[in-house]
Amino acid sequence: MEVINLLQLDLASLRLLVLAAKTENLTQAANSAHMTVSAASKRLAELERVTHCTLFTRVPRGLQLTPAGRGLAEHARTLLDVAQQMAHDANDYAKGVRGHVRLFANTSAVIQFLPADLASFLAANPHVRIELEEALSDRTIHAVENGEAEIGIFADNVPAPGLHTQPYRRDRLVVLVPQTHLLAQRSSVTLADTLDFDYVALNQGSSLLRRINDAAASTGKRLKVRIQVSSFDGICRMIEAGLGIGILPLGSVHSELLASKLRAIPLEGEWASRTLYVGVADATRLSPEAANLYRYLSNLEVALA
C-alpha cells in the first residue's frame, strides 16, 4: 500500500474533520469552519483520498463516523492542540518571552501561597511564562516524573522517592465549624474531640483527606463523612449551611467567612502541621527559567524563617 504523505494533511481540513466528528452534520461543520457545504464536502473527500480511509458514512440525518474516522479525528484534535500551543508560544517569543515553565501544584499551594509567590517572581522575571495546573498531590508527582511538568508542589504525606525535593511552605490545619456549633467556643481541639460530628471533606484521592483519615485511625475511630466535594470553597459553603464540620488549612479560608459565619479552631497535635514540598525530577537538567523558579520556590520558607 502507498505510504500516506502527512504533508498533504493541512490544518484547515483537520479542523473540519474534528468539527464534522463533533456535530455529525456536514452543514453545521461547514458553517463552523466558515466554508460552503460544497467546499467542506470536497475537503473531507480529499482527506479520505489522502488517508485511504472512509471516514464517514452518509445517513439520512447527517454523517456517521466510521472506526477510522473516530481514530483519525482524535489524532487531528491532538495535532490541532499542538499547533495552537505552537502559535501561542510563537506569539510569546515575539513579545519577548524567553522561556516557559510548566508547574503542577496541589490545591493548598494554589490557594494559599502561589498567587503572591508567583506574582513576586514574575515581577522580577517578566520574560518568563508559567503554565500552572492545579492537581492532586499524587497527580502532581506523576506529572513531574513523566515529564508533563518541570516542577511540582505537593503535600508531605505523599511519597515522591523519584524526585529531588525541598521544603516550599508550611501551613496549619484548623477545624472549621459554624459559629453556633458546640465546638465554636473552644480555644483548641484534638481530632478525637471532633470525630462524633459529621464531616464535610474533599473527594477521595486528596492528600488532605488521606492525612485526616490516617490521624483518625490512630485514635481508633473513623471519620464520619457526610458530604464530599472537590474544593476548599465547596467545603466552606457546606459547613456554612450547617451540613457538617471540616478540616482545612487556615490560609485557605476567606477572612470574611471567619468574621461573620464560621469559626476556625486550632487543632492540637504535630500531625496538624504540614509541609508542602517543591520537587523536580533532575535539577541539573532544568531549563534556565525552570531552574530559576525552582531555586526561588525552594528558598521561600528559609527566607521567612
Residue spans of the domains in the chain: they are: 6-94, 99-168+275-304, 171-273
- Domain 171-273, CATH number (from 3.50.30.60, 3.40.190.10, 3.30.499.10, 3.40.640.10): 3.40.190.10
More confidently predicted of 92 and 303: 92
pLDDT of residue 19: 92
**Domains 99-168+275-304 and 171-273 in one fold:** yes
**Amino acid identity, residue 185?**
Q
CB-based contact 249:156 (threshold 8 Å): no
Residue range 208-224: average pLDDT?
A: 94
Structure confidence by residue, pLDDT tens digits, 140-190: 999 999 999 999 999 999 999 999 999 999 999 999 999 999 999 999 999
- Tell which residue, 86, 59, 87, has the closest CA to residue 20: 59
> Quick one: how far is CA 83 from the chain centroid?
22
Structure confidence by residue, pLDDT tens digits, 94-121: 555 467 899 999 999 999 999 999 999 9
Asked if residue 3 has pLDDT above 70, the reply is no
CB-based contact 177:184 (threshold 8 Å): yes
Across the chain, mean pLDDT equals: 89
> Quick one: how far is CA 131 from the chain centroid?
11
The architecture of the domain spanning 99-168+275-304 is 3-Layer(aba) Sandwich (3.40)
Give the CATH fold of the 6-94 domain.
Answer: Arc Repressor Mutant, subunit A (1.10.10)
Beta strands in 122-163 (DSSP E): 128-134, 151-155
